[in-house]
Structures are given as structure tokens and as C-alpha cells.
């Protein structure tokens, strides 16, 4: 299964990122009583789920043990950039994001910053990005009439809610992944089954991914990523509150600001602006688009032309690679290899896997 949660937009953009800690469960009971279900049936239940609309709070938590990589963003964040939301803040700690979903063509996200907020509103063929610090509204037009529920994800380049992340994971299951069902849990006060995806690749640093699936309607409510040999999640995206009633249309109205800028985008392109999850956009790190090597759980993102500022910051936070070529930034889940020519390889794989991939690059020959 190709793990696309953070790559390439997230993994490549963050260079050394990932995240998560288990989220809220019901205080009334630790384990709900549910009818037994097979792994195959639970995957099918989640993939077939259809919730007309919902609203709630999503919590993103990251616990990677990474060094301070705030220099990975350029012109983003409170200092210098003047933006309400600093994406590097998502590299650690817990962050709440308010979400509204009115079905195909209507979604809204509110990402809080320090005494400020960023709002991303998708309504029909337009996407609005509002920064309360600058009072600027950027309108992206041309999403296309068939843009559906995943449009905010498609536009920002990264899945933003547990159901979006889970659907990408479940849609790419193959023999590289063992699938099991474990003890049910409560998530956002909802009874949920737990599906566990376990990579078979020894070079993957991911021990397992747990997906909590609402027992009543099949909607994935939480995704957690556990490093190998750890019982604590390094990354978690979870609903802490959810209301399955249809949100009011007023939630998707165009935001008002002192300045409005309109940009046209082609369908399938990525919007540079809404920070999304969970780190700086590739353009703030590299002069070129990331490519990938490998497959499934051992997919590695390759960035060429990393800026000198980013390369210097990574170099300061790194250790010499075991093979003697390049330097490695390590965490309990995501690793990155900085080569002498400025190329960066990053992925949820061991440092040795990164070094092997680097030796096979065309430039290495």
C-alpha cells in the first residue's frame, strides 16, 4: 500500500516531520460493546461510508522528537511573513482545527494561530483563503464543477481530515500490508471499530497505522501512526468533536477582508497558500517539485535544488550518514538524508534505506 499521508506534499515539504499522539476517548467507558466484524468487512464498511454532512473539531498531534526546523519555511509564520498560521508549529504538539462539510462542493477549515486564524473555504468552483492577520482574501477559481468532498485536500495537496487520510490509505491496500481488527474504542464520543494496518517491509519505520471507524456509519474518525517498537503514536489526526447534521450554508460564505486577490488555477494543480497539513509547502523548501522512488511503505521523496538556507539548517540538525556520504536528520518515524549537492531524500524509512536510494540516483552514477 502506498502511504500517501504526508508524501510527497507533506513528507517532502516537511523534510523531517510527521506526528501524533492518541486522542480523546469516552470517560464513561473504555471499550464499547460492538458486534464482531472481519477486517475485510470493516475495510468495505469504511470505503462505502457516506455521510451527507458534518461539522466538528479535528486534533492534529505530533510527537516525533525532531530538532527545531523552523527555518524550513521562508516568509511563512508570524515573524517576517506576517501570516496568521505558521505551518512549522505542526511539527510538534497538539493543534485543533475546526471543520465543516456540506457535501460535494462545500467545505471549510479554520486553522488557529497565535491570536489569529486562517480560514479555507471551498464553495463550488472557488476556494477562498483568508488570513486574519493581514485581512487578505485570496480567491482561487477554476476548481471545476466535479470537484467533490476531497476538493480542499486536492487544492492544498494534503489530506486534512481523518476520513480523507483513511480513504487514501484503504484505497491502496495490497499484499505489502497486513490488516487486522483490534479492540473497539470511543472517539469523539462515538463507538468505533479499530482497523490496524501493519507494513511488512522491514525498511519501513512505521510499526502500524490504526484507523478508528465509526460503528454506526463507517466514517473513519481517527488515524494514528505508530513507530516500530513503540506503543505511543507519533502522529494522530482525530475528531475530538463531531456533529453529523448538515452544516448551515452560511458556513461556506465567502470570507470578507480588506484586500481581495483572485487567481485562476487549472484542475489538478496545487494551491500555494493554505498551509494544510502538516508542514511547509515544497516551494518553501525546494526550487523544484519533489519526485519519489520506491513503493508502498518504503516510498521516498526526493527534493532537488534545496535552498542554501534550508540546507544549512538541516546540516546543523544532522549527523554524518553511516555510509559516509551526506548527513542524516533522524526522528522516531521520519528520516531525511542531505546530500552534498543539496538533494534531500526523506521518508518513513530507515536511514540505510535512504542511503541505498541515494546511491541509485542518476546523479550518483
Q: Following DSSP, what letter does each residue of 92-132 receive, concatenated?
A: SEEEEEEEEE-STTEEEEEEEETTEEEEEEEETTEEEEEET
Give φ, ψ of 108 to 5 degrees.
Answer: -145, 140
Distance CA 228, CA 203 (A): 10
5 pLDDT more than 90 = no
DSSP class of residue 341 equals T
The domain segmentation of the chain, as residue ranges, is 19-264, 282-364
**What would the pLDDT profile of 183-222 be if each residue is shown by its tens digit?**
999 999 999 999 999 999 999 999 999 999 999 999 999 9
Q: Are 111 and 85 in contact (CB under 8 A)?
A: yes
- Cα-based torsion angle of the residue sequence 148, 150, 151, 157 in order, rounded to the nearest 10 degrees: -160
Site of grid cell 519519489: 292
Query: What is the average pLDDT score of the chain?
Result: 78
Distance CA 199, CA 179 (A): 9
Region 74-92: mean pLDDT is: 50
Q: Are 129 and 140 in contact (CB under 8 A)?
A: yes
Distance CA 4, CA 296 (A): 9
| CATH top class, domain 19-264 | mainly beta
Q: Read off the pLDDT band of 39 (50, 70, 90).
A: very high
Q: pTM of this prediction?
A: 0.79
What was the pLDDT predicted at 89?
64
308 pLDDT more than 90 = no
Region 223-235: mean pLDDT is: 94
Amino acid at each position: 500500500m502506498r502511504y500517501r499521508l504526508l508524501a510527497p506534499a507533506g513528507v517532502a515539504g516537511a523534510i523531517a516531520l510527521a506526528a501524533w499522539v492518541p486522542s480523546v476517548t469516552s470517560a464513561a467507558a473504555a471499550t464499547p460493546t460492538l458486534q464482531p466484524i472481519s477486517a475485510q468487512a470493516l475495510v468495505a464498511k469504511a470505503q462505502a461510508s457516506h455521510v451527507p454532512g458534518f461539522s466538528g473539531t479535528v486534533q492534529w498531534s505530533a510527537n516525533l522528537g525532531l530538532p527545531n526546523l523552523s527555518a524550513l519555511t521562508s516568509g511563512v509564520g508570524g515573524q517576517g511573513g506576517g501570516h496568521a498560521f505558521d505551518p512549522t508549529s505542526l511539527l510538534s504538539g497538539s493543534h485543533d482545527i475546526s471543520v465543516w462539510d456540506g457535501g460535494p462542493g462545500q467545505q471549510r477549515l479554520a486553522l488557529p494561530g497565535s491570536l489569529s486564524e486562517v480560514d479555507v473555504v471551498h464553495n463550488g468552483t472557488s476556494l477562498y483563503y483568508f488570513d486574519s492577520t493581514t485581512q487578505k482574501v485570496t480567491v482561487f477559481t477554476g476548481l471545476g464543477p466535479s470537484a467533490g468532498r476531497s476538493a480542499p485536500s486536492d487544492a492544498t495537496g494534503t489530506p486534512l481530515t481523518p476520513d480523507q487520510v483513511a480513504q487514501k490509505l484503504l484505497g491502496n491496500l495490497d499484499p505489502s500490508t497486513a490488516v487486522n481488527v483490534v479492540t473497539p474504542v470511543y472517539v469523539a464520543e462515538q463507538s468505533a471499530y479499530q482497523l490496524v494496518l501493519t507494513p511488512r517491509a522491514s525498511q519501513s519505520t512505521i510499526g502500524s497505522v490504526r484507523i478508528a471507524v465509526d460503528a454506526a456509519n463507517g466514517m473513519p474518525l481517527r488515524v494514528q501512526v505508530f513507530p516500530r517498537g513503540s506503543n505511543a503514536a507519533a502522529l494522530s489526526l482525530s475528531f475530538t468533536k463531531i456533529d453529523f447534521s448538515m452544516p448551515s450554508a452560511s458556513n461556506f460564505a465567502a470570507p470578507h477582508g480588506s484586500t481581495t486577490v483572485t487567481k485562476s488555477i487549472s484542475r489538478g494543480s496545487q494551491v500555494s497558500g493554505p498551509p494544510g497539513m502538516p508542514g511547509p509547502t515544497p516551494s518553501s523548501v525546494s526550487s523544484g517539485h519533489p519526485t519519489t522512488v520506491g513503493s508502498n511503505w518504503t516510498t521516498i521523496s526526493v527534493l532537488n535544488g534545496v535552498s542554501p538556507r534550508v540546507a544549512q539548517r538541516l546540516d546543523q540538525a544532522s549527523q554524518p550518514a553511516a555510509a559516509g556520504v551526506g548527513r542524516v536528520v533522524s526522528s522516531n518515524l521520519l528520516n531525511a538524508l542531505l546530500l552534498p549537492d543539496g538533494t534531500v531524500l526523506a521518508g518513513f524509512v530507515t536511514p540505510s534505506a535512504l542511503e541505498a536510494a541515494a546511491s541509485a540516483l542518476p546523479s550518483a552514477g
